[in-house]
């Protein structure tokens, strides 16, 4: 694993932001965009630290709208202010939108190909793997300091995944428990 030194926002150009988010938007299928952005802006380029990325991801999840769009707004803003946000979001969304429109016009010709369906299933599985990888990295970083989040994760998994309790009440209770424990210093 390569070590990356965090770069100052002034070192990052709008062209770098545009190219990065356009590539992420064009090459990510079936989810996993947060994991891809993590790899690019934290691991490879050092634009953000782990803590900054996790803060941005958390903020993106609690704000209305798509998590990835919110995350790209944050990264763009941290690198180049408001114009960086516009460039990041536009380059994340417009190139894949154009590609999808073009592909949709010819898709009916290839819809019956079994290998194409298997290929897309494989891409979706890879996206799940990338998302799980960010979850494991995040958990490893978080659990190095405290163990209560792991207990909360396991409790939510048990309640929703095993006991089949409704997600919304479980999430509300878990959020309240997390706030109480965190406010008391873990």
Q: What is the pLDDT of residue 9?
A: 56
- Rank 46-50, 64-68, 103-107, 143-147 by mean pLDDT and report only the highest: 46-50
**87 or 136: whose pLDDT is higher?**
87
Whether residue 146 is predicted with pLDDT greater than 80 in this model: the reply is no
Q: What are phi and psi of 166, to 5 degrees?
A: -65, 140
Nearest 5°: CA angle at 37, between 47 and 32?
A: 165
**Residue 131 and residue 35 in contact, taking contact as beta carbons nearer than 8 Å:** yes
pLDDT tens profile 25-66: 988 765 678 888 999 999 999 999 999 998 999 888 888 888
* pTM confidence score: 0.60
Distances (CA, A) of 98 to 8, 69, 95, 150, 182: 32, 17, 5, 41, 44
Domain ranges, ordered by start, for the chain: 9-145, 147-186
Whether residue 74 is predicted with pLDDT greater than 90 in this model: the reply is yes
Cα 162 to chain centroid, rounded: 26
Question: What tokens appear for 166 in the block?
Answer: 């409704």
Give the other-Cβ count within 10 Å of 46's Cβ. 15
Whether residue 83 is predicted with pLDDT greater than 60 in this model: the reply is yes
Rounded percentage of the chain residues whose pLDDT exceeds 70: 91
């Amino acid at each position: 694993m390569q070590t990356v030194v965090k770069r100052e926002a002034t070192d990052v150009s709008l062209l770098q932001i545009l190219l990065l988010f356009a590539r992420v938007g064009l090459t990510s299928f079936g989810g996993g965009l947060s994991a891809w952005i993590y790899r690019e802006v934290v691991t490879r380029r050092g634009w953000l630290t782990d803590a900054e990325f996790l803060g941005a991801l958390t903020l993106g999840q609690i704000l209305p709208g798509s998590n990835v769009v919110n995350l790209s707004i944050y990264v763009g803003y941290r690198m180049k202010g408001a114009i960086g946000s516009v460039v990041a979001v536009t380059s994340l969304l417009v190139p894949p939108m154009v590609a999808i429109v073009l592909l949709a016009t010819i898709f009916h010709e290839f819809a019956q190909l079994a290998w194409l369906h298997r290929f897309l299933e494989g891409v979706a599985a890879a996206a799940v793997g990338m998302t799980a990888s960010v979850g494991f990295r995040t958990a490893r970083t978080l659990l190095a300091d405290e163990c209560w989040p792991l207990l909360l994760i396991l409790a939510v998994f048990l309640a929703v995944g095993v006991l089949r309790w409704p997600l919304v009440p479980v999430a509300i209770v878990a959020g309240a428990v997390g706030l109480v424990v965190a406010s008391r210093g873990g």
